[in-house]
Structure 1
Amino acid sequence: MSVGIIGTGSYLPSKVLTNFDLEKIVDTSDEWIKTRTGISERRIIDDNANISDMAVEASKKALLDADLEVSDIDLIILATCSPETLMPSTSCLVQQKLGAKTIPAFDVSAGCTGLIYAITIGTQFIETGMYEKVLVIGADALSRHLDWTDRTTCVLFGDGAGAVILGKVQKGYGIISNYLAADGKGADLLKIPAGGSGLPATEDSFEKKLHCVQMSGSEVFKFATRALPRATKAALKRANLTIDDVKYIIPHQANIRILENVAKKFGVGFDKLIKNIDKYGNTSTASIAIALDELQRANKIHEGDILLLVGFGAGLTWGANVIKWVKYKKSK
């Protein structure tokens, strides 16, 4: 048997923040944002909710899609850039809210590439025979880490959660290759400086807004336009495939101009890249899972289709998963 994605789910908060809303609070415009990012609106988490709540809702939908119960899950891996607390892990909060008893749960921190890392990790647990079904979640609420006076960052991010369930599928299908990479020399290009043990919360750190996202936009753009092709080529080479074999590329949704650049480099039609950044902005670790879930629920993926999940993020990190899709059929 091989390991594949046997269920998908996603959750977006109901609150919508449009570009026109942002015009009222920061020096920007709808035209400026759309031209530079492709974003028209994004979702913002409710004041009384947390990322574990979004993760639980996405997980429930993935379980329903796979025709599974919570008791069928053997392991929870949650990728996030905005953990609910430094301790305990957000995955343990999700485990408790799902009622998943005492199964192991841990978080993955790999920037916006977190879902790719988590899928790769979860796949290996099943391949070794240690577990049979793994719940992988990407969930973020970076709206709570934004400086709403900084138009270079506050217009970019939205909140949400996406989930996939990994399990055994027929041989020759499922996840056929993985690729992961990191380069810590670029750590300062995208960061939240304060809040950890290196720079604990103080009155001074809050006044300097060191708990907010800081990004060197032009440098991150340059990195992304190199990293996505590198990850794509490496993962496809490991799968013994070419870009022409791929039905859909599902990239991290960070900036429409990055995606246009990648499509141009590969010489593929822009319609091959799945895009929802206009509706949700950059939902960080959740973005790929949300896009995959929407594609799957629209019945646009068919058995045998080759999908490429590819992302980049803080760290710096980048990576990809190549999947030969098969519809999961629960054994009697």
Structure 2
Amino acid sequence: MRRYSRITGTGSYLPPRRLTNADLAAELATRGVETSDEWIVERTGIRARHFAAPDVTSSDLALPAAQSALQAAGLDAKDIDLIIVATSTPDMVFPSTACILQHKLGVAGCAAFDVQAVCSGFVYALTVADAMIQTGAASKALVIGSEVFSRILDFSDRTTCVLFGDGAGAVVLEASETPGILASDLHADGKHVGILCVPGHVSGGEVLGLPLLKMDGQAVFKLAVGVLEEAARATLAKAGKTEADIDWLIPHQANIRIMQSTARKLKLPMDKVIVTVDQHGNTSAASIPLALDAGVRGGRILPGQTLMLEGVGGGFTWGAVLLNL
């Protein structure tokens, strides 16, 4: 009998400090940077974001999100035999944020590692966990996206610092006799490194380069819309499905314009798209599981429905997962 995997619980967490566009504009004004609620909303659809306190790490945000997902699945942390954390803002150079989270969950022994695919990270991590469950390498997995992007923002650049926020989202993925994850499609193209990156690193105890986010917004937009449609269509083809089978599109929450363009290309109305970018901005690898949890807990996403998850991020990476909840 073939072995499948299914999502059995979702969870999320946003740090308490919430900044509206007006709040952020007031803070930026003290640095001599001008922006406004109208300017941000018109270009991005973002109205607020959450920033973690200075001493709060990605594993700190991941912990309550993971605990919430475990509770929803009716499991204890000791039941988990695989932990994958998708993050571009790890607690340390090493060990992995997943290992740190494992200790905070009070468990030991199971495999734990990070996946770094920036805003596509959760889609990548979910695909890896699904493959490990299908092969019998794991039976119950925690898959988490967690980010503290506020740490790597250049607050003198209004074109990027208004876009991002901090947060975490998690799912429990369990072995199943019936299909949950139906198909996935992952890609990367390193020639686009320069359009979205943090071009700095640590060497000899010093930071070399610039450890702040840099982005060519127009280039990212143009690339994102095209590859998201391609990945979605490829995933549907692998599963033997069409756009009409999608109950909910849950895209990476980067920019409302990218989300609207993708929905149009897939012939989906916006009332079939889960949109949370207005409330938490771009949380990179955390954005898809945050949106998924919001849809589930808000009563919109129901058991048995078919969901298309898709993300695109620096690398450049992109991918999609089609699943039955």
Q: Shift of residue 296 of structure 1? A: 1.0
Is 2:141 the counterpart of 1:139?
Answer: no
Q: Give the 5 Å matches for 1:77-156.
A: 77-156=84-163
Is residue 206 of structure 2 the alignment partner of residue 201 of structure 1? yes
Contact 1:153-1:214 at 8 Å conserved across structures: yes
1:48 deviates by 2.4
Aligned identity (percent) is: 47
Q: Report the secondary structure of 1:77's partner residue.
A: strand
- C-alpha separation in 2, matches of 1:91 and 1:70: 13
Offset, 1:17: 1.2
Q: CA deviation at 1:211?
A: 0.8
The letter of the residue matching 2:55 is N
| Equivalence for 2:187 | 181
Distance in 2 (CA, whole Å) between partners of 1:227 and 1:280 is: 24
Report the secondary structure of 2:271's partner residue.
helix
Please give the secondary structure, in 2, of the residue aligned with 1:195.
strand
Give the paired residue count: 318
Cα offsets for 1:100-146 (capped at 9, x unmatched)? 21222100001110000000000111111121101111000010001
AA paired with 2:164?
F
* Contact 1:51–1:139 under 8 Å retained in 2: yes
Query: What is aligned with 1:190?
Result: 196
> Structure 1: how far apart are the matches of 2:94 and 2:41?
38
* Structure 1 position 166 matched with structure 2 position 173: yes
User: Aligned-pair distance for 1:10?
Assistant: 0.3
Q: How far has the Cα of 1:201 moved from its partner? A: 3.3
Asked if the contact 1:192/1:212 (under 8 Å) is kept, the reply is yes
Instruction: Give the letter for the 1:179 counterpart.
Output: D
CA distance in 2, matches of 1:304, 1:18: 35
In 1, distance between residues paired with 2:307 and 2:148?
27
* Aligned equivalents of 2:139, 2:269: Cα separation in 1: 37
Partner of 1:101: helix, strand, or coil? Answer: coil
Report the Cα distance in structure 1 between the residues aligned to 2:228 and 2:134, rounded to whole angstroms: 26
CA distance in 1, matches of 2:45, 2:5: 35
Report the CA distance shift for 1:71/1:200 in structure 2 as closer, same or farther (over 3 A).
same
Q: Is the 8 A contact 1:225 1:261 kept in 2?
A: yes
| CA positional deviation for 1:263 | 1.8
CA positional deviation for 1:169: 2.6
Give, in whole Å, the separation in 1 of the partners of 2:11 and 2:159. Answer: 30
Counterparts in 2 of 1:23 and 1:311: CA distance versus 1, 3 Å: same
SS in structure 1 at match of 2:249 = strand
Which deviates further from its counterpart, 248-257 or 102-111?
A: 102-111
1:194–1:201: 8 Å Cα contact kept in structure 2?
A: no
Match of 1:272 in 2: 272
Helix, strand or coil for the counterpart of 1:299?
Answer: coil
Q: CA RMSD in A?
A: 1.3
Deviation at 1:227, TM superposition (A): 1.2
What is the 5 A alignment of 1:321-332? 321-325=321-325
Residue aligning to 1:23: 25
Give a deviation string over 1:66-116, Cα, whole Å, max 9, x none: 000011000111000111111111111101111121222100001110000
Letter in 1 for 2:199: P
List gaps (5 residues or longer) in structure 2.
none
Which residue of 2 is the match for residue 3 of structure 1?
A: 5
Q: Output the CA distance in 2 between the equivalents of 1:304 and 1:310.
A: 19
Question: Aligned pair 1:62/2:69, yes or no?
Answer: yes
One-letter amino acid matched to 1:10: S
CA shift, 1:2, in A, is: 1.9
Listed one character per residue, the Cα deviations across residues 204-231 of structure 1 (whole Å, up to 9, x for unaligned) are 74xxxx1110001100000111111011
Moved more, 239-248 or 99-108: 99-108
- Whether 1:12 aligns to 2:19 is no
Q: Secondary structure at the match of 2:206?
A: coil
- SS of corresponding position for 2:118: coil
Q: What TM-score do the two structures reach when normalised by structure 1?
A: 0.93
Shift of 1:304: 2.4
Report what 1:303 is aligned to: 303
- CA deviation vs aligned residue, 1:35-61 (integer Å, no higher than 9, x gap): 000001100001221110100110000
Q: Is the 8 A contact 2:243 2:267 kept in 1?
A: no
TM-score when normalising by structure 2 = 0.95
- Asked whether the equivalents of residues 194 and 200 of structure 1 are also in contact (C-alpha less than 8 Å), the reply is no
